[in-house]
Structure 1
Amino acid sequence: MLTVDFGRLPVGPGLRVLDLGCGGGRHAYEVLRRGADVVAFDQDAAELRSVSIMFAAMDKAGEVPAGATAETVTGDALAMPFPDASFDRVIAAEVLEHIPDDMAAMREIHRVLRPGGTAAITVPSFIPERICWALSEAYHTAPGGHVRIYTLAELTAKLKATGLEIGPHHHAHGLHSPYWWIKCAVGVNDDEHPLAKAYHRLLVWDIMKRPAATRIAEAVLNPLIGKSVVIYVRKPA
């Protein structure tokens, strides 16, 4: 399930891409499939071991274009172990809402991005996230959880303050917001609740089959209740 639109953030052979806070690696895998050199970066070493195993499996299955490379690096988003201007593209998907000093992380994104390079920044959308916080304290107070709710204006202003040029934005995952509202209402850790299980099956079916009906429904819902907002930014040349 991709949040970033690679039509707006083109990647391909000859480009070096950082997936900052890569988590399970969903965007890193897509970058590699498109032939770019990808660095999957996260502070969770155990998660990165799984990502590394998947990279190897993709290569063995012939899913990696010739010449494309992939590596995993463990570290801190506030002090990344990369030289200035190291990457042509940066992806930071659902990361900044976890970091108390988000401006420091944004400055690091600016630092490692080459002049003229572009980045995609995604965070939870204000209204869906605000509903989750209202329904469940456990949703946002768990260790490593969300520490803030961004408005689009705040996120844009902070990114602009680091020297990045603000480009287009869009919302994603409109079908997923109701799932999280259900989870927050019935118990965010109660995966066995019948309503939560039923909606989860719907989401899995949608991801696997991608029928036209749900694609149209999500396109309609995204601007209204899209779970994530994505902003594309550029470092001035």
Structure 2
Amino acid sequence: MSQEKNLEYLYDSHETNDSHNILLPAVDRIVKEFSPATIFDLGCGNGSVAKHLSGRCEVTGIDPSISAVAVANKAYPEIRIESGSAYDDLRARYGTFDMVLSLEVVEHLYDPRAFARNVYELLNPGGTAVISTPYHGYIKNLALAVTGRMDAHFWALWDGGHIKFWSIRTLGILLKEVGLKVSRFERVGRIPALAKSMIVIAQKPK
């Protein structure tokens, strides 16, 4: 849960936050479904999700936030968590994995196609991408407008905040462009039409 290298997302805790707690039940279910031996956590933030999953598989994580990596390394020295960007040549540095997990990252990126290409390259053939981002859809956006919460939701004064607002359609297009096969979307937090986030599960062809 991170952003560009020049926009430091500050962390002072290694604990999971409210966003993690909404996403983790679904993530746990998906990890159990696919049983990966290795996971790459792309934009791992403070390392709390990597730690949560590390009892079931080998987890490697990167994040551009210096404070996040420092917190993670201090709290979880047994897990490989390093500074890195969604735009780096990650496959050359880390190899390939059974699963790439990226929670609440893609909405922060100026170049989401570079991110998607990296996800594809990091996966083993037949591997699974699990990507979450805030959900946007017609009914939710209408509800935000009617209740006067558009400014609060699309808060322009958050330095380094959300700059891309994804729908199921647009996120699906992004992943298909790089060769990933989307198998399904799940919506989490609140009722589906007003969901806080959505999770896409996609596979790299064998």
Does structure 2 retain, via aligned residues, the 8 Å contact 1:11–1:31? no
Larger relative helix fraction: 1
What is the alpha-carbon distance in structure 1 between the residues aligned to residue 69 and residue 48 of structure 2? 12
What is the alpha-carbon distance in structure 2 between the residues aligned to residue 93 and residue 14 of structure 1? 17
Structure 1 unaligned runs (5+)?
57-68, 175-220
Tell me how far 1:157 sits from its aligned partner: 0.9
Alignment of 1:8-87 (within 5 A): 8-10=30-32, 15-34=37-56, 36-56=57-77, 70-83=79-92, 86-87=96-97
Does structure 2 retain, via aligned residues, the 8 Å contact 1:2–1:27? no
The structure-2 alpha-carbon separation of the partners of 1:133 and 1:165, relative to structure 1 and needing over 3 Å to count, comes to: farther
Could you tell me which residue of structure 2 aligns to residue 164 of structure 1?
180
**Paired AA for residue 154 in structure 1:** T
Does structure 2 retain, via aligned residues, the 8 Å contact 1:89–1:118? yes
Alignment of 1:1-237 (within 5 A): 1=21, 3=23, 4-10=26-32, 15-34=37-56, 36-56=57-77, 70-83=79-92, 86-127=96-137, 128=140, 131=144, 134-136=150-152, 139-174=155-190, 221=191, 223-237=192-206
Comparing 37-46 with 22-31, greater Cα deviation is found at: 22-31
What is the alpha-carbon distance in structure 2 between the residues aligned to residue 12 and residue 51 of structure 1? 26
Does structure 2 retain, via aligned residues, the 8 Å contact 1:169–1:232? yes
**Paired AA for residue 233 in structure 1:** A
Deviation per CA, 1:113-136: give whole Å up to 9, x if none.
Answer: 111110101010004578397233
Could you tell me which residue of structure 2 aligns to residue 177 of structure 1?
none
Q: Matched residue of 1:82: which SS?
A: helix
What is the alpha-carbon distance in structure 2 between the residues aligned to residue 172 and residue 124 of structure 1? 9
Structure of higher CA gyration radius: 1
Structure 2 unaligned runs (5+)?
1-20
The structure-2 alpha-carbon separation of the partners of 1:26 and 1:224, relative to structure 1 and needing over 3 Å to count, comes to: farther
Tell me how far 1:53 sits from its aligned partner: 2.2
What is the alpha-carbon distance in structure 1 between the residues aligned to residue 86 and residue 33 of structure 2? 22
Deviation per CA, 1:70-129: give whole Å up to 9, x if none.
Answer: 211111101143338511111011000000110110001001111111010101000457
Does structure 1 retain, via aligned residues, the 8 Å contact 2:44–2:63? yes
**Paired AA for residue 73 in structure 1:** E
Aligned length: 177
TM-score (norm: length of structure 2): 0.76
**Paired AA for residue 83 in structure 2:** T
**Paired AA for residue 186 in structure 2:** H
Q: Matched residue of 1:136: which SS?
A: helix
TM-score (norm: length of structure 1): 0.67
